[in-house]
Structure 1
Amino acid sequence: MSRAGNPPFGLPPVSLGTWQLRGRAATRAVGQALALGYRCVDTATGYDNERDVGAGIRTSGIERGDLLIVTKFPEEDAGRERETLLRSLDQLGVDHLDLWLVHGPLDPDGSLAVWERFIEAREAGLVRAIGVSNFLPAQVDDLVARSGVTPAVNQVAFGPRRLDPALVRHHTALGIVVQGHSPFSENDLRHPALRAAAGHHGRSVHQILLRWHVEHGVPVVAKAASPAHLAANLRVHEFALTAAEVEAIDRAADDAWTGAAR
C-alpha cells in the first residue's frame, strides 16, 4: 500500500455547514448556498442528511469539478468503513468525495485501524483527500508516526472560546489545514468584545466571528439556512478587524464562554 502523504488541500474561508439540517430544508439551503457562491459543502454520516444534501447539490446545476464535497465517518462505525463510504457516495449522488474525515478519535489502535481503511479508500480513488476531526495534536502525532500518512485537514472547534495557537503551529508545521467548526454554537454571541466589534463595523456578531477566523488564517464551516444568513456569512472579505479587536476577542478566550460541542 502506498504511504504517500496527502496532497496539499485548499479550503475556502467559509464552507457551508449542514448540521441539524434535514429533508427539504437541507436540500433548499444547499441549493441556495451554491447559487450564492459557496463551493464547499460539509456534512457527516451522523447528520443523517447526506441524501438531502446530495439533492441540493444536483439541483444547483454547479459542475462537480467546481465543488468540494466533505463528509465525516462516524468513529462508532469502525470496521464498516468501506460500506459506510459507499453508502455516503450513493446518497450524495457522486462517485468520489473531495475530503473524508474521521469524525472523532478512538483509542490509538482503533484510530489507526480506521485510518488504514481511509488510506485504502484514497488509493482506490474514492476520495481525493483524507483527514480527521476533533483530534488533539498528540493523537495526530501518533496517527502519523504509526501510519506514515499525515491528515490533510483537522476540523476542530476553533472559536474564541477554544482558541489554540499551539495547535495551529503544530498542524502548520506538518502541513495540516486547521478548519474550524461550530463558530456560533461554541461561543457566547453576547460577549462584549464581539458586540463592540459588530457595532464598530456595522456587522452582525456572526460575521465578526467568521472574520475572526479569517484573521487567524483558519477556514471555517458555518451553518445557515435562510438566504439572508447564507449571504451574510460569505461577506467576510468586505471588512477587516483591527489588531486591537482581534486581541480583545483573543483575550476573551479566558472568559466563561458558553456553548455546547458538536
Structure 2
Amino acid sequence: MLPCPIVSLSNGQKIPILGLGTSHHGGYSHEAVVYALRDCGIRHIDTAKRYGCEEALAKAVAESRVPRDDLWITTKLWPYDYGYHSAKQACLASSARLGVDYLDLYLMHWPDCMVPGRSNRDVRAETWRALEDMYDEGLCHAIGVSNFLISHLEELKDDCGIVPHVNQVEFHPFQQPWDLVRYCQKEGIAFQGFCPLAKGQALSHPLILGLAEKYGRSASQICIGWSIQNGVITIPKSTNPQRIFENCQVFGFQLEEKDMALIGTLHDERHVSWDPTLVK
C-alpha cells in the first residue's frame, strides 16, 4: 500500500491528506474504523461532538493498537458550546470521551452561533479566543473552523490573534468554492474538503463513470483522487470496509490535466450538506 502524503500546516504540524470521516445517523461503524486503522493504514480520523461517536471511536482506536503519536484525531465544537468557558469545557469533555490528552485538530463546527441577543461575530471571536488559549496550553495541536466563508474568516482575522490552521468545507465535483480555496491558500489556511463523493451523487455522473472506465478505477477513486490532486485534504466517509479499502487506493494514479479540467466543469453550486452562505 502506497504511503499517504502529508500536508504541513502553517504551524508545522503535519496532517495526512487522506482521512476517514465519521458522522451521525448511522455514519459510524466500530468494525470499519478498526479495519481502516489496522488494515488500510489510515492515520487520520475526523469526528465531532455532534456525531455522538467520540467514546466509540476511543474503543476502536484502542482495539486497533495504533500508537497515539501515529494518529491525527480531529473533533469539532458544536455552537451550543460556543462561548469562552463553554468551549474550554467542551474541549476537555471531547478529549476525555476520545481517551486522549490532546487533540490534533479542534474545529469550530459552524459559523452560526445561535446565541439570542448577541452577534455571530462577537460570539465567534470569544469562542476563538478560547481555542487560541487551548492551543497555547497544548490541549490542541492545531485549531481551525468548519463551514466558514471568506467573510467569516476576514472577521476572525480582524478580531483574533491566530489565523485558523484549517478550514473544513464541503468540496466535491458539484461544489467547487475556488474563491474560498484561493483565499485560504493566500492566508496560510489549509483547505480540507468533506463530502468528496457528494453523498454518492457524483458516483453516477456519466463523466465520472467515463473517467473511471478510462483509468480502470472506481468512481469514488476518481472523485477522491481529483480532490487530492487539487491539494485538498480529503475525508471520505464510509462504514463499509471494502469501500474504505477502495477509497485508500488513490495514490497509484494521476488524472491527466485535461480530465482534471473536465471535472472542473461539473460545478453547479450544489450543496449536499448545510449551506453556510446565509450565515452572517
1:21/1:230 Cα in 2 relative to 1: closer, same or farther (>3 Å)?
farther
Q: Whole-Å Cα distance in 1 between the matches of residues 42 and 110 of structure 2? A: 26
Partner in structure 2 of residue 10 of structure 1: 14
Q: Whole-Å Cα distance in 2 between the matches of residues 82 and 169 of structure 1? A: 31
Q: Whole-Å Cα distance in 2 between the matches of residues 6 and 257 of structure 1? A: 30
Counterpart mapping for 1:107-256 below 5 A: 107-186=120-199, 187-254=201-268
Q: Over residues 23-61 of structure 1, what are the superposed CA-to-partner deviations in whole Å (9 max), with x where a residue is unaligned?
A: 9x5322221111120010100000000000111111111
Cα drift, residue 258 of structure 1: 7.1
- Once the two structures are aligned, what percentage of the paired residues are identical? 34
Q: Whole-Å Cα distance in 2 between the matches of residues 188 and 257 of structure 1? A: 11
Cα drift, residue 160 of structure 1: 1.5
Cα drift, residue 188 of structure 1: 3.2
Partner in structure 2 of residue 42 of structure 1: 46
What TM-score does the superposition give when structure 2 sets the normalisation length? 0.86
Q: Over residues 156-208 of structure 1, what are the superposed CA-to-partner deviations in whole Å (9 max), with x where a residue is unaligned?
A: 01112111222121111111100000112354322222111111112111111
Cα drift, residue 20 of structure 1: 2.9
Q: Whole-Å Cα distance in 1 between the matches of residues 202 and 256 of structure 2? A: 21
Q: Give the number of aligned pairs.
A: 256
Partner in structure 1 of residue 3 of structure 2: none
Q: Which runs of 5+ in 1 are unaligned?
A: none
State the one-letter code of the partner of 1:41: I
Q: Do residues 82 (structure 1) and 85 (structure 2) align?
A: no
Q: Whole-Å Cα distance in 1 between the matches of residues 131 and 220 of structure 2? A: 34
State the one-letter code of the partner of 2:232: V
Q: Whole-Å Cα distance in 2 between the matches of residues 261 and 240 of structure 1? A: 31
3-state SS in 1 of match to 2:193:
strand
Q: Which runs of 5+ in 2 are unaligned?
A: 1-8, 113-119, 276-280
Partner in structure 2 of residue 103 of structure 1: 109
Q: Whole-Å Cα distance in 1 between the matches of residues 129 and 10 of structure 2? A: 13
**Which deviates further from its counterpart, 133-142 or 184-193?**
184-193
Cα drift, residue 76 of structure 1: 2.4
3-state SS in 2 of match to 1:160:
coil
Cα drift, residue 21 of structure 1: 6.8
1:197/1:261 Cα in 2 relative to 1: closer, same or farther (>3 Å)?
farther
User: Is residue 222–residue 233 contact of structure 1 (8 Å, CA) maintained in 2?
Assistant: yes
Cα drift, residue 215 of structure 1: 1.6
State the one-letter code of the partner of 2:158: A
Q: Whole-Å Cα distance in 1 between the matches of residues 219 and 151 of structure 2? A: 33
User: Is residue 45–residue 71 contact of structure 1 (8 Å, CA) maintained in 2?
Assistant: yes
Partner in structure 1 of residue 62 of structure 2: 58
User: Is residue 182–residue 261 contact of structure 1 (8 Å, CA) maintained in 2?
Assistant: no
Cα drift, residue 257 of structure 1: 5.1
Q: Do residues 67 (structure 1) and 62 (structure 2) align?
A: no
1:152/1:260 Cα in 2 relative to 1: closer, same or farther (>3 Å)?
closer
Cα drift, residue 239 of structure 1: 1.2
Q: Whole-Å Cα distance in 2 between the matches of residues 170 and 48 of structure 1? A: 32
Within the candidate set 32, 43, 62, 1:29 is matched to 32
Q: Whole-Å Cα distance in 1 between the matches of residues 10 and 254 of structure 2? A: 32
Q: Over residues 124-145 of structure 1, what are the superposed CA-to-partner deviations in whole Å (9 max), with x where a residue is unaligned?
A: 2111110000000121111011
Q: Whole-Å Cα distance in 2 between the matches of residues 130 and 183 of structure 1? A: 22
State the one-letter code of the partner of 1:176: I
Q: Whole-Å Cα distance in 1 between the matches of residues 173 and 155 of structure 2? A: 27
State the one-letter code of the partner of 2:74: V
